[in-house]
Structure 1
């Protein structure tokens, strides 16, 4: 292969993490896959903690927030949230990566975070409120993107629906009534859109009270 780069290492690490889980991501495994010695990887990442930070930075690298413009803050905040969800959704291991690192060490994440703070500020929130809004916003993006992407078998869905429908209707009326959609799960597009709408509606409602 050509010259080994931090980007190539992070890309391969994400591929392994997505397919096999983060426990499978080791320096030795990466060295074998990339056809180099472990020492060659240590030149870029001295330990797995640094590697995870590099993976986090790389998976967000494809999503770069647009510069602030004249549009209402609501539209810009929606673009930010939807873009982050898309970037994270592309990697099933994203949630695990971010749970294991100090997010302040990830340059691309800091750019998104800073933009979220700025947009909240432009909506009229106090500094303390901006901090809370950005925290909930970014954590929500990670949670939305972590929605199960696999499709359950018809047998699993049927068993799940029957299990919910067999609950005492007098005690759990809504679980029984909605057993079908609960068992089937949601269309991924609806899941993402509704999740983003729900979060932004809350922020807009708070802003309207200013």
Structure 2
């Protein structure tokens, strides 16, 4: 019988329930199964991760794998927590809360770009995992000495991470990105001919932004601009 998800998440804790000792020893552990699933998702995307496919790669039956992970939804939660647990969390070295929050944002962006599939998992049960809790605790300390209360601290962190995840989605590998960069330099004049005098504001702003970024859209420019505005918004809260 599969264990409850909370017990699977905390399987390495001394108080976690242990399976029975009778019967042959399992060929793989839950941790090995989760690590294999993470590697598969990193290589091929989340769609590739199925219980049947993972079991075949591990050399066990799907039924045997279900005793380790419960269900595919539970497996995804275990994968998220494993990634969070395995991430090195650098100590804060700045006395400026803006620097600390920027560090949180940049670490979250690095995590998302290393594991793109994280953006496709929205299961809030990951919050029960030890890796996720440790990550959350570390990030909350970025707001130390700011004077905001606990509810505001949680909301401020959510505000930052929501922005990061939205920005990460815009950075996902785009098979047309190279074509778009070339098209921007070759088609702008023809596009202006089609537009004529129409949409003057869009033409003026688009031309200025395109010249500055040499593209119709720059994730890096959007990131710098957006993160600074997020920090500005939080500063108004902290000053109050």
Fold-level similarity (TM above 0.5): yes
Of residues 51-60 and 152-161 in structure 1, the stretch that sits farther from structure 2 once superposed is 152-161
1:8 to 18, 32, 53: 32
**8 Å contact from structure 2 (residues 35, 79) kept in 1:** yes
1:74 to 76, 79, 98: 98
Q: State how many pairs are aligned.
A: 206
Query: What's the counterpart of residue 186 of structure 1?
Result: 218
| CA–CA distance in structure 2, aligned partners of residues 169 and 100 of structure 1 | 43
- Compared CA separation, residues 142 and 59, structure 1 to 2 (3 A): farther
- Compared CA separation, residues 75 and 5, structure 1 to 2 (3 A): farther
TM-score (norm 2): 0.68
- Compared CA separation, residues 155 and 49, structure 1 to 2 (3 A): closer
Query: What's the counterpart of residue 43 of structure 1?
Result: 67
The question of 1:136 aligning with 2:159 is answered yes
* 3-state SS in 2 of match to 1:183: coil
Cα distance, 1:66 vs. partner? 4.6
**8 Å contact from structure 1 (residues 49, 101) kept in 2:** no
The question of 1:170 aligning with 2:194 is answered no
1:135-177 deviations in Å (ceiling 9; x for gaps): 1122223223332234645443344563775553414131243
Cα distance, 1:29 vs. partner? 0.6
| CA–CA distance in structure 2, aligned partners of residues 56 and 126 of structure 1 | 28
TM-score (norm 1): 0.76
The question of 1:87 aligning with 2:111 is answered yes
Long gaps (5+) in structure 2:
1-25
Query: What's the counterpart of residue 234 of structure 2?
Result: 203
2:49 to 11, 15, 25: 25
Cα distance, 1:128 vs. partner? 3.0
Cα distance, 1:36 vs. partner? 1.8
**Structure with greater Cα Rg:** 2
